[in-house]
Amino acid sequence: MGILREINKVRIVIALGGNALLKRGEALTIDAQKENAKRACKLIAEVARSHQVTLTHGNGPQVGMLALQAASHDASKPYPFDVLDAESEGMIGYQLSQQLRNFLSEKKIATLLTQIEVDPNDSAFLHPTKFIGPGYDKIQAEALAHTHQWTIKADGQYFRRVIASPQPLRILELEIIKLLLDAGVLVICCGGGGIPVIREATGDYEGVEAVIDKDLASSLLAREIKADCFVILTDVMGVMKNWGDSFAEVIKEIAVSDLEAMHFPEGSMLPKIKAACEFVKKTGHRAYIGALDDLPEILAGNAGTVIDLTI
Ligand code: ADP
Ligand code: MG
């Protein structure tokens, strides 16, 4: 089952969860983010030593914090989310590339701001699902929603702001990413799902108020660069059967068709399932979902959930 035993130099896309970078309930301090980035990069560096890794990451907690900061500057004219997405991609990409460099001094590493085209008529603009920012208790969240005209939804025991999360259609910098990969560069890209842009009738690109799901953006990237495997790292041990019950257990391996028949919550596990299934169906290769700390074991086939065409 372990892919690393089957192919010598594997092209791997690793998607790092925003919540794996900042543990739930943990303060959004730069120290906490640095510590978590270090922990993640130590594990990823070990894989990147012998394989071609492309790293993507989430930005849910961070982009929400940047939105709060921007609102405190001038609440009447908040910075739009495309700009905040770019800021968070720069902030997290900077931290990841610095930590990776510390572990992998021999490797060329580059962080690339990535714009991703979305459809301006995507129905996601009418139904926000993407959690951003910190978790609040219900009363706090309702007060904030009233003040700022936010949409809020329950995320486990907390309440969080949600915004539109349209489908990623096209990675504008794809050719540049491929050039970098061919030159042996470890590329950090599609951070926070990339920066959502639309193409206007004039042919010009314009940013839009949304946060693309990083799992879906990473799946698109993994397909486009013909990755041999796609790994989604998060803060749970894998895809759980009976999630939320005391008898919940990790699904060790599952066929795409069986996984697609199950139900998962929007805005957290569902995009990972869609992203993984899409990759497996289009490439015939496996996708893996599991906990950051288990990365070596996931790739060895001993932890997490493996998604395959058939099992
Ligand atoms: P990330 O920042 O890594 O994208 P998300 O919060 O978006 O993290 O998604 C991971 C979360 O999905 C888990 O922490 C868990 O709370 C939730 N989840 C929902 N359903 C399941 C399930 N069936 N199995 C495992 N986790 C689930
Ligand atoms: Mg997520």
> Closest Cα partner for 281 from 257, 306, 258?
257
Q: Measuring from each residue's beta carbon to the nearest atom of ligand 1, which residues come in under 6 Å? A: 17-20, 58, 60, 156, 234-236, 239-240, 243, 264-265, 268-269
Tell me if 276 is assigned to some domain.
yes
Tell me if 223 is assigned to some domain.
yes
> Closest Cα partner for 295 from 28, 20, 43?
43
Tell me if 146 is assigned to some domain.
no
Residue 204: predicted pLDDT: 97
Distance 17 CA to ligand 1 centre (A): 9
Residue 73: predicted pLDDT: 76
Residue 8: predicted pLDDT: 60
Q: Which atom of ligand 1 is nearest to the CA of 131?
A: 7
Contacts of 25 (CB under 8 A, 6+ apart): 135
Probe target for ligand 1 pocket from 132, 165, 236, 270, with the most ligand atoms within 8 Å of CB: 236
CA 57: distance to chain centroid?
A: 4
Q: How many domains does the chain divide into?
A: 1
Dihedral sign for Cα 266, 267, 268, 269, please.
positive
Query: Which residue's CA lies nearest to atom 19 of ligand 1?
Result: 269
Q: How far apart are CA 252 and CA 271, in angstroms?
A: 19
Residue 62: predicted pLDDT: 87
* Chain position carrying tokens 């998604």: 307
Tell me if 137 is assigned to some domain.
no
Distance 20 CA to ligand 2 centre (A): 9
Question: Three-class SS of residue 96?
Answer: helix
Q: Which atom of ligand 1 is nearest to the CA of 237?
A: 25
CATH classification of the domain holding 180:
3.40.1160.10
Q: Is 12 exposed, middle or buried (0-12, 13-18, 19+ CB in 10 A)?
A: buried
- 292, two tokens: 């950051």
Q: Which residues of the chain have pLDDT under 70?
A: 1-8, 19, 75-76
> Closest Cα partner for 39 from 55, 58, 20?
20
Residue 266: predicted pLDDT: 80
Q: Which residues are catalytic?
A: 18-19, 130, 214, 272
For helices 30-48 and 81-103, the axis angle rounded to 10 degrees is 60
Tell me if 197 is assigned to some domain.
yes
The bound ligand whose nearest atom lies closest to the alpha carbon of 289 is: 1
Q: How far apart are CA 234 and CA 122, in angstroms?
A: 27
Tell me if 216 is assigned to some domain.
yes
Residue 252: predicted pLDDT: 97
Tell me if 163 is assigned to some domain.
no
- For residue 56, the enclosing domain spans 3-60+81-118+168-308
pTM above 0.75, yes or no: yes
Tell me if 199 is assigned to some domain.
yes
